[in-house]
Amino acid sequence: MSKVSVIVPVYNASKYLENVIRSLRVQIYKDCEFIFVDDGSVDNSGEIIRNLAEKDRRVKYIFQKNNGVSAARNTGLAVATGKYVTFMDSDDLVYADFVESHVKMMHGYKHSISAGYYITIDGKSTKTKLISDEKLKLMKAPAVWLRMFDLEALRKHELSFGNYKIGEDLNFSGKMQLLYPEFVRTTIPTYHYFIRPGSLVGTSDESQFDLLNAVSDMEDFAKTNDLYEQNEAELEFMVINHILMAGMKRAGEGNMLEEAIDKIIDYVYTAHPKWYQNQYIDKYADDNEKEYLQAVQDMDMEAIKKFAGHY
């Protein structure tokens, strides 16, 4: 069997942790280690993990001073001993075949990413989502808990999570996907992603531009590694999807929309001057998004602000 490391960053998650750990301990696939990195919690998260670690040697506990989710994941990557590595958020749940289904898809292949189905729960509704091959290629679903990575490949290319409050998954998954463009998919839902009340959706400070920095760094990575030309259309659509559309909406939820409009539009036109000709717009943008993208071309500020939900 190939050992799998599951890395779980933790910060003040005590009310969820027992269920999280229980869902990992019942995994059908047994050759695992569950690395919980406590990022300076001030509740009793550490005590809960340590107590459960005494019952299951696969549960590992690491404490570090608060430095954010990216630093916690990097700490986990540094100590991981598995052939494969995946991630879990500290307030989500996984099915008993979460690890097994990914390993089955990875085994015997040179691919470094396995992804596909997940279930999202927001307290009011439950949706099962299948991520298509092309959508994964376009980085429309970059969450690292959707994926399993070959740890040796990550270390070979010295990949780690950047210090971004927003966009760290996109940057990390995107770089790996540029290096290893072929991937396999799971065929059943195995991950429960919870949208909790009070979850961070938007922010009104400069950190909202971390997403722009994360994407810029990823595009620079592609150019440095001679991977840009063959991925230009996909990278361009990633910019359209995550920056021009999602980024603008995020800015509308904060208090810096005017500055965001200038920064985002300037970046898009500088990096991709003919972005509006991208082949994936017609396929994946809905009518409202297409109307907004036309407004960007026309520099119709009223329509741009309306799309961003500013009024």
- From the number of C-beta atoms within 10 Å of its C-beta (0-12, 13-18, 19+), residue 125 rates as exposed
Task: Judge whether residue 147 has pLDDT over 90.
Answer: yes
In the block, residue with structure tokens 């270390």: 155
pLDDT 10s digits, 38-81: 999 999 999 999 999 999 999 999 999 999 999 999 999 999 99
For 269, the token pair is 């036109």
CB atoms within 10 A of CB 287: 7
Residue spans in the chain of domains classed CATH 3.90.550.10: 4-194
Q: What are phi and psi of 92, to 5 degrees?
A: -105, 180
pTM of the model: 0.93
**Contact by Cβ (8 Å): 232, 223:** no
- Cα 276 to chain center, whole Å? 26
Q: Which one of 3.40.50.300, 3.20.20.70, 3.40.350.10, 3.90.550.10 gives the CATH number of domain 4-194?
A: 3.90.550.10
Amino acid at 44: N
pLDDT 10s digits, 76-109: 999 999 999 999 999 999 999 999 999 999 887 7
